[in-house]
Amino acid sequence: MSFFCLEKEHLAGADLYTTVIIGLFASIIILLMFRSIRWKETLDDQVTVLLSSMQLRIDQEEGIRRKKKMREAKLRAQLWLAELRSRSLNRLSRRYRSASAYGT
């Protein structure tokens, strides 16, 4: 006697078992789908939430861009000031050298 019987009763039981398992998974999927739908929110509420989240994202990206531009402007200003200081120090050192050389 084989462990796997091929009688019609056993095949019908296997078919019934397969059908029940597939039905169980399908019902769980359908239940999760209905649960994900929010019946209390109207379409207007959903659109409002979507638009506000998009606006928040745009504002955040704009803030990041603004900070980057401010950092670049600060760096340019610092370089410009450093260049002015070096020029003025060079001029002062030349004046003092020329004044001391002539005895003035």
Place of tokens 């409002």: 48
Tell me, yes or no, whether 60 lies in a domain.
no
Give the phi and the psi of residue 5 in degrees, each rounded to 5. -90, 140
Tell me, yes or no, whether 20 lies in a domain.
yes
**What is the SS3 assignment for 16?**
helix
Note the pLDDT tens digit of each residue in 39-66.
666 778 888 989 999 999 999 999 999 9
Task: Give the model's confidence band at 94: pLDDT under 50 very low, under 70 low, under 90 confident, else very high.
Answer: low
Tell me, yes or no, whether 55 lies in a domain.
no
CA distances from 47 to 35, 44, 50 (A): 20, 5, 5
Report the alpha-carbon angle 48-52-54, nearest 5.
120
Tell me, yes or no, whether 43 lies in a domain.
no
Structure tokens at 79: 């370089």
The residue-averaged pLDDT of 71-77 equals 97
Tell me, yes or no, whether 28 lies in a domain.
yes
Tell me, yes or no, whether 61 lies in a domain.
no
Tell me, yes or no, whether 80 lies in a domain.
yes
Instruction: Look up the pTM and report it.
Output: 0.43
28: containing domain: 1-38
Tell me, yes or no, whether 64 lies in a domain.
no
On the question of pLDDT at 67 being above 90, the answer is yes
Structure tokens at 1: 């006697």
Total domains present in the chain: 2
